Amino acid sequence: MTGIRPRRRGDRGSASVAIAIVFPAVAVLFLALAQAVMLAAAHQVALASAEEGLRVARAHDHTMDQGKSTALAFAHHEPVLIGPSVTASGTTTITVTVRGQAPSLLPGVHLSTTGTAAGVRERFTTPGPP
């Protein structure tokens, strides 16, 4: 029996202990990464909704309410933004803000996100002397 060493008494189960210590840390890191992805996706939907609402609200023949309803419809179309709400303000410079929550992987945790877009209202001018 050359080359085979008998197992020591202290070595028994050391791999199981190492796995029991490392696995929870890896699981927490995985959950944190997945939650970060959910939050980033919800933020992108909020921002895209605000930009879409701004596009409509700043048009020459549209109203602020039309921009708000467009932003809300866009936000409701994507299920990753929970409970969206829209505010719009301004006369010459319009600001549309969409707020909502990201889905949570942990019960009782609420992660809010906001997307804001601002732009100048379209207006027609006539060429000529000032």
Q: Choose between 60 and 94: higher pLDDT.
A: 94
pTM of structure: 0.77
For residue 130, being part of any structural domain is answered with: no
Q: Could you tell me if 72 and 50 are in contact, meaning their C-beta atoms sit under 8 angstroms apart?
A: no
For residue 88, being part of any structural domain is answered with: yes
- Distances in Å between the Cα of 99 and the Cα atoms of 33, 48, 52, 78 are 22, 12, 14, 14
For residue 109, being part of any structural domain is answered with: yes
pLDDT band, very low/low/confident/very high, at 128 (cuts 50, 70, 90): low
Q: Choose between 92 and 5: higher pLDDT.
A: 92
Specify the pLDDT at position 115. Answer: 96
The CB density around residue 104, as the number of other CB atoms within 10 Å, is: 14
Domain count, the chain: 1
pLDDT at 3 over 70: no
Q: State the maximum Cα–Cα separation within the chain, in Å, rounded to a whole number.
A: 105
For residue 1, being part of any structural domain is answered with: no
Specify the pLDDT at position 127. Answer: 78
For 103, the domain range is 20-120
- Summarised one tens digit per residue, pLDDT across range 7-52 is 555 555 677 777 888 888 898 899 889 999 999 999 999 999 999 9
What average pLDDT is seen over the chain? 87
The CATH number linked to 43 is: 3.30.1300
Specify the pLDDT at position 9. Answer: 58
